[in-house]
Structure 1
Amino acid sequence: MSEVGGAFRNPGAILVLFILLVIILASGCFGV
């Protein structure tokens, strides 16, 4: 679980992953 601890110490990484997830979900929903 070291990657989880690193993510909590680096909020920027979580923000990037969250944005990528939103883009992927949006692409799937709208068929872009």
Structure 2
Amino acid sequence: MSFFQGNQNSFILLVVLFVLLVIVGNNYPTGQGYGYGGGY
């Protein structure tokens, strides 16, 4: 099973990764996440 069988699956995977990055950024105590969720 591969996540790259089709464009739809790849798009979903990218969306999931993006959401995870935002969540991790929001959870950083110092606010220095990946730029999207962290405080400036």
- Tell me the TM-score normalised to structure 2 length: 0.52
Alpha-carbon offset, residue 13 of structure 1: 0.4
Alignment partner of 1:24 is 2:24: no
Q: Which residue matches 2:8?
A: 11
Q: Which entry has the higher C-alpha Rg, 1 or 2?
A: 2
Give the CA RMSD over aligned residues: 1.8
Instruction: Report percent identity of matched pairs.
Output: 21
1:8-31 deviation line (CA, Å, top 9, x unaligned): x61000000000000000000011
Unaligned runs of 5+ in 2: 1-5, 30-40
Which of structure 1's runs of 4+ aligned residues deviate more than 3 A?
A: none
Larger helix proportion of the pair: 1
Structure 1 unmatched runs, 5+:
1-8
